[in-house]
Amino acid sequence: MEQHSWDSAVGFVPIISVGWFDAKLSPPQITIGHVSTTVRNTMVDSKVRRFDAILAVDVWSDVEEERWKMVTEVDTVVQKFRSNPGTDLSYQIVSGWRDLDEVNVTPKIYRSRVEVGLTYYRTSQS
């Protein structure tokens, strides 16, 4: 998969990590987290399992304009690789963005989330 240039796309480079927002690091941040995975056997071969996973992509910033730039750029990247992620993955769903701002704290945290559904197959060793 090709490398994405955040700096040329939005003018800054967010911290991208797996998990949750790290308050010790300054925004902007993008986090990717696991929401759920359903595993089932396929009808073709009982050793082949189908995995349907949902991942959440959250963008975090203390500057609202930065948040919108990241939302737009994440959308661009997801749409670009949606038809062919370049692996054995296939996209199933992409939800709409939800705003989950935390404005009763100082500094305010502007956060938006999109959920991405992926399907992939693995062969069981047993």
Domain for residue 2, yes or no? no
CATH code for the domain in which residue 76 is found? 3.30.2000.10
Average pLDDT score over residue span 76-98: 78
Q: How many domains, the chain?
A: 1
Percent of the chain with pLDDT over 70: 90
Distances (CA, A) of 117 to 25, 33, 53, 63, 79: 28, 12, 6, 28, 13
The pLDDT assigned to 89 comes to 74
Tell me: pLDDT of 112 over 90.
yes
Domain for residue 1, yes or no? no
Domain for residue 77, yes or no? yes
The pLDDT assigned to 42 comes to 78
The pLDDT assigned to 45 comes to 65
Domain for residue 59, yes or no? yes
The pLDDT assigned to 1 comes to 42
